[in-house]
A and B are shown apart, each in its own frame.
Chain A
């Protein structure tokens, strides 16, 4: 479907649905909703500006907008907190942007069946402030915890820092209401009523309608899991003389079988070198500290205290030195909110330059981490040699399995990017770098993404290679549910579905 500018007729109809004040056609409203924190071709900003921004409050309004989009064949792009790292909320074909931030009601707190029902514009931090009064918590904890919204977490099938203990977004969302690409409203869950966690009736569609990056509909309400508010938190950071020892220790800690263990994170030598430049916790560390492993636990005090003792013992027996309470507690607390960190990077001569943070992620098995790490750093070093506006900020590997955090790891290489200096040549070099990073992940039996999604320019080219026959099924589903290709068109190479149909 080619891009069609939104006409006055469409604007008038949108105003009829939402009223004058919730249809925004001014420049600032549209330009501010063009990008997300993922690297962005700032030299081509206008390529991604929506034609109009809509701010619905009710499900029926969202459905009416989507039906209108079908009638006029105009793209619709859903947007929640816009904190994603995979471009899901970036309009590729302009069109109508549906911003759900005004859909921010907490509809029901059910303390008997332990659920909370919310609209998609609710933020987890604000939700948990309300839930605390009742002694419960919704434990979905991305690095964007203070600013991301429930709708985006569902649309991206988000990953949680404490997923080893409580599960990730897909484990914590019980059911949701969805406006399909046709404008039809359905309830999606495991089966049964909206508070049923496990059902064996019919196809399991909940996962299908999560993580689709806005290509299969817009969530308008969600029923979420409640867990007891933790009595105790414990975090321990360990220092190691080399990566090999830290990697083996990470495996031992993750395989400990301790049910309160929320996560184990391995920082490599490049990450330590980066932190030693600018992070108050790492600047004073002696030169012999070459790698660090972070751990965190949550639960009742009776669970956490003995488990923490065992965790400290395992860390020490596998070569780690406990870094102390100040670093362990302070650094862990800061990890719930990485988006607030002001960033700068270094050019090859050492001069400071303003840089934004970017991270390429993958899902990698523990056994493959050392080999992947070496290749990823070599790829980024080659990029920096050609374009010194990039800066290698090191890697981490984070236990990823929900409740079974020992097999595979969210693996990231963080790269600083001086975005103001990007031109088409350096942008294409970056895209090629992303493609190379994704290729290494697939070659080692991994996945392009454990956390962010894989629909960004560059890595998306390898999605058919990773998914093989599953990608053909994806295209058939997309074409069936969205026959006019109005829902976030251009994402995930799904335009191929329509090209094949025409052929």
Chain B
């Protein structure tokens, strides 16, 4: 049984990355909480739930690629193959 882990519940403090955007986990962006005080309140989410949503998003995009074609051609690989 996995017991209660505080780190899995509590997200790190946000870092500002742009005028209206903050970041708690790398590449996971949030609207600046100061802009969500009047009409839409920001929800507090446990860290594990944020990670679950992000992972689900990547799964979904991978599913969509697979749905449309057998393979995805990499532009970076093509650039490396040839002097474009």
Contact = CB atoms under 8 A, between A and B. Distances in A.
A344 B35 CA distance: 12
A384 B61 CA distance: 34
Interface in A250-286: 276-278, 280, 283-284
A337 B57 CA distance: 12
Interface in B3-47: 17-18, 20-21, 27-29, 31, 35-40
Interface in A306-331: 308-309, 312-313, 316, 322, 324-325, 328-330
A337 B67 CA distance: 13
A346 interface: yes
Interface string A281-309: 00110000000000001100100110011
Nearest to B82: A309
A231 to B, nearest CB: 5
A26 interface: no
Nearest to B75: A236
B40 A344 contact: yes
A328 B71 CA distance: 15
Contacts of B36: 351-352
Interface string A328-359: 11100110110000001011001111100000
Given A278-B31, A324-B76, A353-B39, A298 B69 contact: yes
Nearest to B39: A353
Contact of B73 (A128, A233, A324, A350): A233
A324 B79 CA distance: 10
A132 B70 CA distance: 10
Given A283-B18, A283-B29, A351-B37, A233 B76 contact: no
Contact of B79 (A312, A337, A350): A312
B84 interface: yes
By secondary structure, the A interface counts as: mixed
Contacts of B28: 280
Given A277-B20, A322-B79, A354 B39 contact: yes
Contact of B69 (A129, A233, A309, A344): A233
A231 B82 CA distance: 22
A309 B39 CA distance: 48
B35 A346 contact: yes
Contacts of A329: 61, 65, 72
B2 interface: no
Contacts of A337: 64
B35 A276 contact: no
Contacts of B67: 125, 128-129, 132
A390 interface: no
B21 A232 contact: no
A67 interface: no
Contacts of A297: 73
A308 B31 contact: no
A233 B68 contact: yes
Contacts of A350: 20, 35
A330 B61 contact: yes
A141 B73 CA distance: 20
A393 interface: no
A352 B35 contact: yes
Given A278-B31, A308-B78, A329-B65, A353 B40 contact: yes
A325 B74 contact: yes
A390 B40 CA distance: 16
Interface string A380-412: 000000000000000000000000000000000
A347 to B, nearest CB: 8
A125 B64 CA distance: 10
B27 A230 contact: no
Contact of B68 (A230, A236, A313): A230
A333 B29 contact: no
A101 interface: no
Contacts of A125: 67
A316 to B, nearest CB: 6
Given A233-B65, A233-B73, A333-B65, 15 more contacts: A229-B70, A231-B70, A232-B70, A278-B29, A283-B17, A301-B71, A308-B75, A312-B78, A316-B84, A325-B75, A329-B65, A330-B61, A334-B64, A351-B35, A351-B36
8 contacts: A235-B75, A278-B29, A298-B68, A324-B75, A334-B61, A351-B39, A352-B35, A353-B39
Which 3 residue pairs of A and B lie closest in terms of their CB atoms, listed nearest first? A233-B69, A230-B69, A234-B73
